[in-house]
């Protein structure tokens, strides 16, 4: 089994785009949360990483992974009543006093 062809052209975020050295782990990671949920009410959370090549010193950023998470949208959409887990209570009395 000596197949050199790869079907996927997906770039490995851990590999230096300049010299091809594979980095053990990102220097820094952070998450980007999409401001709007999709049609199914799910939020896409993108895990980003900044990398630094130990060989050539090149730095780059790449998407490590994307996670789709169930969003418990508090406003508008209430067709499905899935209330599992955390419930965030908002004190409406405080809002009334502002008006």
Site string for Zn ion, 17-36 (x = CB under 5 A): -xx-x---------------
- Determine the length of the chain: 99
- Closest contact distance (angstroms) between CB of 95 and Zn ion is 54
- What is the rounded CA–CA span in Å between residue 99 and residue 95? 7
Find the part of the chain contacting Zn ion (CB under 5 A) among 24-32, 39-47, 53-61, 86-94. Answer: 53-61
Cα four-point dihedral sign 77, 78, 81, 86: positive
3-class SS at 45? strand
Find the part of the chain contacting Zn ion (CB under 5 A) among 14-22, 33-41, 70-78, 86-94. Answer: 14-22
Residue 33 neighbours by CB distance under 10 Å: 11
Please tell me whether residue 58 binds Zn ion under the rule CB under 5 A: yes
Q: Kindly list the residues in this chain that would bind Zn ion in the complex (CB under 5 A).
A: 16, 18-19, 21, 53, 55-56, 58
């Amino acid at each position: 089994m000596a197949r050199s062809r790869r079907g996927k052209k997906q770039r490995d975020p851990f590999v230096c785009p300049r010299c091809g050295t594979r980095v053990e782990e990102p220097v820094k990671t952070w998450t980007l949360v999409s401001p709007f949920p999709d049609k199914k009410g799910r939020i896409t959370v993108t895990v980003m990483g900044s990398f630094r090549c130990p060989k050539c010193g090149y730095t780059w950023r790449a998407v490590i992974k994307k996670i789709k998470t169930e969003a418990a949208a508090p406003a508008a959409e209430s067709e499905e009543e899935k209330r599992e887990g955390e419930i965030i209570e908002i004190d409406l009395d405080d809002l009334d006093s502002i008006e």
